[in-house]
Amino acid sequence: MKCAFCESPEIKKRTIVENDLVFAFPTNIPVVPGHLLICPKRHAAIVEELEAEELLAMVDIKNKLKKALIAVFNAEGFNYAWNEGEVAGQSVPHLHLHILPRKKGDSGIYEYEPRKFLYRPGSREKTPQDELLAISKLIASNLV
């Protein structure tokens, strides 16, 4: 298996913090200074492949990094994201959580509007309440 996150000596050299289960490093194509990736050490493509301990370890590292990013970059807010699947923008099939320290005047998407960022531009009509309730019931009835 060829995986940039599992096999890259450059990434290993850039590792900022790690524990037994996860590690974090700066991405080589940052949106803003301090844009980091947090990855499980065990190769997993999507979050459902993680053990609960691995997910908790990612959150623990995220919390530690957040404090450091506030101190280093005077971050006033954060964007967190992970993509699953090529059609959703996952370019490396190894799960990774993006953490971006944000402050007024930085580069990248400053105003986050999910309907513009994730889906399609332009106006969209609100879905009627009865349709939303039907969708809620359908999804709930398919939970396993």
Per DSSP, the three-state class of 63 is: helix
Contacts of 32 (CB under 8 A, 6+ apart): 100, 101, 102, 106, 107, 108
Which class for 18: exposed (0-12), middle (13-18), buried (19 or more C-beta within 10 A)?
middle
> Is 96 annotated as catalytic?
yes
Q: What is the dihedral of CA 128, 129, 132, 138, to 10 degrees?
A: -120
Rounded to whole angstroms, how far apart are CA atoms 121 and 64?
A: 35
Please identify which of the residues 35, 43, 94, 96 carries the catalytic annotation. 96
Among all residues, which ones are annotated catalytic? 96
